[in-house]
Chain A
Amino acid sequence: MKAARTRRCLWLVVVLLLSVSLVPASKAGPAPGGTLTIGVPGEPVGMDPHIATVLSSLRRADLIYNRLVRFNDKMEIVPDLAMSWEIPDSRTYIFRLHRGVKFHNGRDLVADDVKYSIERIADPATASPARAWLPPFEYIKVVDRNTVEFKLKHQLASFLSNLALSNMAIVPKEEVERHGNLHRVAIGTGPFMLERWVPDDHMRLVRNPNYFRSGFPRVDTLIIRVIPDEASLLAGLRARTLDMAHLSEPAVVDLAAKDRDLVTTQTPLIMLRTFGFNATRPPLTDARVRQAIGWAIDRQRLVELAERGHGRVSGPIPIAIREWALPVGSLPYARKDVARAKRLLTEAGFPRGVTFKIVTSPGFRLLPIAEVIQEQLKESGITVELEVLEWGAWITRWVRRDFDSMVELRTGGLDPDGFLYRMLHSAGPVNNFLFKDSDLDRLLDRGRVIVDFDRRKTTYDEAQRLIMEKAPFIPLYSPLDTWSLRRDVRGFRLISSAQYYYLEETWPER
């Protein structure tokens, strides 16, 4: 009896270790103050949260600004600046703001700021990448100083979760007007204030004394160092010049995991590596050829070879979106099947196999994946040529849809609509597969507006199966987000959206 319980406890510990937080829970309260130094690989490109497209910029915005709502570490939507909200009907959202929230310039946050910020994002002149995440509004109304009401023109089931994206920061109007944009001034309501920014080197953030979550941030100073070379990040951790580091290079992650002074923690990201096809380029016009490719790839082995195992095989909805993603085992291509691939090719009229190109680039781990695919497809009689381009040239090919096939890293928010509609609807803005399927269009249109969870779930289950069957792309895997922390770092929580705001709860215990 007791043994069984111990075993269960042990099992629980293992599960906890495997899942989100490897960090020991805090024993006592934090010592106030101190400095937390983190190392990250990317330098921000402009700081305006509404305009930034680069992840490293958005990660800084996570610390300087707040949004109306945010995700917790279970990827549930929880309050941020909005203390509470109601949805009286599926097109009306009323948010009540926390009282006494101040911008870094000392002014109180009011409902007008929310209206201004969302309207700024929606304004085409702002050129915000987040505009696509907003529905057309009938109106945005300031009800009183702390209440704001959104009336949508039509239903958008993903609206609330879209408001948690880093781009949806609430900014002070007067600072935008004074400086034109917020690329170089950073005035938000967030836990940290920008004190010093030395490009390509470090950013020094200091505690916001008026932060509305009392007791946070835990440290007085947060230093973010930019160290593009991952081996140097690890070296920094070992030399104690860094308290924690955001890693992505698999070999370095393995080294960090072996280091006994460090705690390395991982979670699958809400991103998807896809191997996508241009549906207008023969022989990839034929769904059977695309299916054959799906059966010819051993995705688990691909993760092992290209990422040293640091990834989770996923279906068309990233595996980290737990409530929506279908288990990989229940979908096609779960096991490699060369005979089936060859049969499909023969049926499609290519008994001797097919030849096509993958356009790829050395950055962002696109090349290793393409190399492994090239090698794996050989066995099924599929010949792949790689065309390795410099990053900018790759982007151009992407924009012009000039490719047979591409390996990509896809993002798209927390909601299945955000992920699938843009990528696969015949009107989707980033459907560069040029894929058109009326059945799928119908499902995706329906999923956009249904608010009832169960009905919506049925719709997206069906959509996932259809996507796998038509194979506009083969979903490969979700990469893992990895942080490595020195043992004395407390209070950090890793989340699948990779946002940084939990650094407000993190401190080094010494």
Chain B
Amino acid sequence: MTERRLLLRRLSRHSLAVAGGVIVAAYVLLSMLAPVLSPHDPTRMVPGQQLSGPSVRFPFGTDEYGRDVLSRVIHGSRVSLTIAILSVAIAVSLGTGLGVAAGMSGRQMDNVIMRAMDVLFAFPAILLALFVLAILGPKPQHVVLAIGLVFSPQFARVTRAAVLTVKHLTYVEAAEAMGATTARLLRRHILPNISAPVIVQVSVTLSLAILTESALSFLGLGTQPPAPSWGSMLSASRRFMELAPWVAVFPGVAIAVVVLGFNLVGDGLRDVLDPRLR
């Protein structure tokens, strides 16, 4: 308990991590309050206002159908954050589950699981997600599943490595020798010890998940219209970029800033949890 508080204090003194935390918190707030904060209905097409530049009425300009880009960027945070968080949740549960299973079980099981993970890992990531979406159909829950699947091998590897290290620590071996059950070993000794690398991996993966979701939407297989997604806004904007650069600029900035937020937090966590890289 005290150790955790110590970590938190160290993190709070890490100014970059704090900045990242503030960014992420701001986005979470933005997405929760999107309907209140948006000046316009993000799906309303305003005739005669197609591709008009930034103005008082439309601070970020309008898109090809005369929809307000600012409102769409704000609502886009909902899509991106929800998908990122849920997909990382899937990656964590799937990955750590398999990683623990591989680390704790015998050599054969370990081999089977880890080779399967290697197969997924060796498969080009964006293509794997593309395949999953093409097969299941591009629905938000499938995007979550696809991204979750793509990022689970990293968690499996990190977890397995941590489990193997911990398993051979003297006190763990002692506990095992004294007849502690596997469940108890896991709960008391292993899980607390693997949480550090997993937490670092989570923050990194959150940023990657946002990037992947937008890349998938960019390729046309992400979120469904009229729900605004940053990636699909960018993808559509390419067709009239020269006429209306603002449609391409703002969603990209929105992505870059939130990803930076997650990266700053992740970096801070790594500093605090993994002293080797300091």
The complex places the Cα of A372 from the Cα of B241 at a distance, in Å, of: 20
Closest-CB distance, A50 to chain B (whole angstroms): 32
Residue-wise, chain B 237-256 has the 8 Å CB interface mask toward A (1 for contact) of 01111111000000000000
Please state if A231 and B220 are interface contacts (CB–CB under 8 Å).
no
Contacts A255-B243, A308-B50, A387-B137 given; indicate if A371 touches B226 (C-beta within 8 A).
yes
The reply on A375 being an interface residue by CB < 8 A is: yes
Please pick, from B66, B134, B240, the residue contacting A393 in the complex, using a CB distance under 8 A. B134
Please state if B65 and A367 are interface contacts (CB–CB under 8 Å).
no
Contacts A387-B224, A388-B138, A388-B220 given; indicate if A231 touches B242 (C-beta within 8 A).
yes
The complex places the Cα of A375 from the Cα of B41 at a distance, in Å, of: 12
Please state if B45 and A362 are interface contacts (CB–CB under 8 Å).
no
Please state if B65 and A305 are interface contacts (CB–CB under 8 Å).
yes
Residue-wise, chain A 200-236 has the 8 Å CB interface mask toward B (1 for contact) of 0000000000000000000000000000001100000
Q: List the B residue with the shortest CB-CB distance to A391.
A: B220
Contacts A251-B240, A305-B50, A305-B66 given; indicate if A375 touches B43 (C-beta within 8 A).
yes
Please state if B220 and A362 are interface contacts (CB–CB under 8 Å).
yes
Residue-wise, chain B 176-217 has the 8 Å CB interface mask toward A (1 for contact) of 000000000000000000000000000000000000000000
The reply on A390 being an interface residue by CB < 8 A is: yes
The complex places the Cα of A361 from the Cα of B138 at a distance, in Å, of: 11
Please state if A367 and B242 are interface contacts (CB–CB under 8 Å).
no
Closest-CB distance, B46 to chain A (whole angstroms): 10
Please state if A374 and B226 are interface contacts (CB–CB under 8 Å).
yes
Please state if A251 and B226 are interface contacts (CB–CB under 8 Å).
no
Please state if B241 and A368 are interface contacts (CB–CB under 8 Å).
no
Please name all residues of chain B whose beta carbon is closer than 8 Å to the beta carbon of A370 when the two chains form the complex: 225
Please state if B239 and A230 are interface contacts (CB–CB under 8 Å).
yes
Please name all residues of chain A whose beta carbon is closer than 8 Å to the beta carbon of B51 when the two chains form the complex: 251
Contacts A305-B50, A388-B224 given; indicate if A375 touches B239 (C-beta within 8 A).
no
The reply on A462 being an interface residue by CB < 8 A is: no
The reply on A386 being an interface residue by CB < 8 A is: yes
Please name all residues of chain B whose beta carbon is closer than 8 Å to the beta carbon of A362 when the two chains form the complex: 220, 235
The reply on B156 being an interface residue by CB < 8 A is: no
The reply on A392 being an interface residue by CB < 8 A is: yes
Contacts A305-B45, A305-B66, A362-B220 given; indicate if A390 touches B226 (C-beta within 8 A).
no
Please pick, from A361, A372, A386, A393, the residue contacting B45 in the complex, using a CB distance under 8 A. A372
Chain A, range 292-309, C-beta contacts under 8 Å to B: 301, 304-306, 308
Please state if B47 and A386 are interface contacts (CB–CB under 8 Å).
no
The reply on B271 being an interface residue by CB < 8 A is: no
Please state if B240 and A390 are interface contacts (CB–CB under 8 Å).
no
Please state if A389 and B225 are interface contacts (CB–CB under 8 Å).
no
Q: List the A residue with the shortest CB-CB distance to B235.
A: A362
The reply on B110 being an interface residue by CB < 8 A is: no
Please name all residues of chain B whose beta carbon is closer than 8 Å to the beta carbon of A371 when the two chains form the complex: 65, 225-226
Please pick, from A231, A251, A301, A388, the residue contacting B47 in the complex, using a CB distance under 8 A. A301
The reply on A445 being an interface residue by CB < 8 A is: no
Please name all residues of chain A whose beta carbon is closer than 8 Å to the beta carbon of B239 when the two chains form the complex: 230, 249, 251-252
The reply on B98 being an interface residue by CB < 8 A is: no
The reply on A254 being an interface residue by CB < 8 A is: yes
Chain A, range 271-317, C-beta contacts under 8 Å to B: 301, 304-306, 308
Residue of A251, A252, A370 with most partner-chain B CB within 10 A = A251
The reply on B221 being an interface residue by CB < 8 A is: yes
Contacts A231-B242, A371-B65, A371-B226 given; indicate if A390 touches B134 (C-beta within 8 A).
yes
Please name all residues of chain B whose beta carbon is closer than 8 Å to the beta carbon of A367 when the two chains form the complex: 225
Chain B, range 47-61, C-beta contacts under 8 Å to A: 47, 50-51
Please name all residues of chain A whose beta carbon is closer than 8 Å to the beta carbon of B240 when the two chains form the complex: 249, 251-252
Please state if A389 and B138 are interface contacts (CB–CB under 8 Å).
yes
Chain B, range 23-79, C-beta contacts under 8 Å to A: 43-45, 47, 50-51, 64-66
Please name all residues of chain B whose beta carbon is closer than 8 Å to the beta carbon of A390 when the two chains form the complex: 133-134, 138, 220-221
Residue-wise, chain B 220-235 has the 8 Å CB interface mask toward A (1 for contact) of 1100111000000001
Please state if B226 and A231 are interface contacts (CB–CB under 8 Å).
no
Please state if A304 and B225 are interface contacts (CB–CB under 8 Å).
no
Closest-CB distance, B67 to chain A (whole angstroms): 9
Contacts A230-B239, A305-B50 given; indicate if A372 touches B220 (C-beta within 8 A).
no
The complex places the Cα of A362 from the Cα of B232 at a distance, in Å, of: 10
Closest-CB distance, B90 to chain A (whole angstroms): 22
Please name all residues of chain A whose beta carbon is closer than 8 Å to the beta carbon of B241 when the two chains form the complex: 231
The complex places the Cα of A392 from the Cα of B235 at a distance, in Å, of: 19
The complex places the Cα of A254 from the Cα of B244 at a distance, in Å, of: 12
Please pick, from B133, B221, B225, B243, the residue contacting A254 in the complex, using a CB distance under 8 A. B243
The complex places the Cα of A375 from the Cα of B134 at a distance, in Å, of: 26
The complex places the Cα of A390 from the Cα of B142 at a distance, in Å, of: 14
The complex places the Cα of A198 from the Cα of B6 at a distance, in Å, of: 65
Please name all residues of chain A whose beta carbon is closer than 8 Å to the beta carbon of B244 when the two chains form the complex: 251
Q: List the A residue with the shortest CB-CB distance to B44.
A: A375
Please name all residues of chain A whose beta carbon is closer than 8 Å to the beta carbon of B66 when the two chains form the complex: 305
Please name all residues of chain B whose beta carbon is closer than 8 Å to the beta carbon of A252 when the two chains form the complex: 239-240
Q: List the B residue with the shortest CB-CB distance to A363.
A: B220
Residue-wise, chain A 247-273 has the 8 Å CB interface mask toward B (1 for contact) of 001011011000000000000000000
Closest-CB distance, B163 to chain A (whole angstroms): 39
Contacts A255-B243, A362-B220 given; indicate if A372 touches B137 (C-beta within 8 A).
no
Q: List the B residue with the shortest CB-CB distance to A375.
A: B45
Please name all residues of chain A whose beta carbon is closer than 8 Å to the beta carbon of B43 when the two chains form the complex: 375
Please pick, from B134, B224, B242, the residue contacting A255 in the complex, using a CB distance under 8 A. B242
Closest-CB distance, B1 to chain A (whole angstroms): 49
Residue of A252, A361, A363, A388 with most partner-chain B CB within 10 A = A388
Q: List the A residue with the shortest CB-CB distance to B51.
A: A251
Please state if B225 and A388 are interface contacts (CB–CB under 8 Å).
yes
Please name all residues of chain A whose beta carbon is closer than 8 Å to the beta carbon of B64 when the two chains form the complex: 251, 305, 308, 368
The complex places the Cα of A451 from the Cα of B79 at a distance, in Å, of: 59
Please state if B226 and A375 are interface contacts (CB–CB under 8 Å).
yes
Please name all residues of chain B whose beta carbon is closer than 8 Å to the beta carbon of A231 when the two chains form the complex: 238, 241-242
Please state if A386 and B134 are interface contacts (CB–CB under 8 Å).
no
Please state if B226 and A389 are interface contacts (CB–CB under 8 Å).
no
The complex places the Cα of A387 from the Cα of B45 at a distance, in Å, of: 20
Q: List the B residue with the shortest CB-CB distance to A305.
A: B65
The complex places the Cα of A371 from the Cα of B244 at a distance, in Å, of: 20
A→B interface (CB under 8 Å)? 230-231, 249, 251-252, 254-255, 301, 304-306, 308, 361-363, 367-368, 370-372, 374-375, 386-390, 392-393
Instruction: Show 19 residue pairs from A and B whose CB-CB distance is below 8 angstroms, ordered by the A residue.
Output: A230-B239, A231-B241, A231-B242, A251-B240, A251-B243, A251-B244, A305-B45, A305-B65, A306-B65, A367-B225, A368-B65, A374-B225, A374-B226, A375-B43, A375-B65, A390-B133, A392-B134, A393-B134, A393-B137
The 5 lowest CB-CB distance pairs between A and B, nearest first, are A251-B240, A362-B220, A390-B134, A375-B45, A251-B243
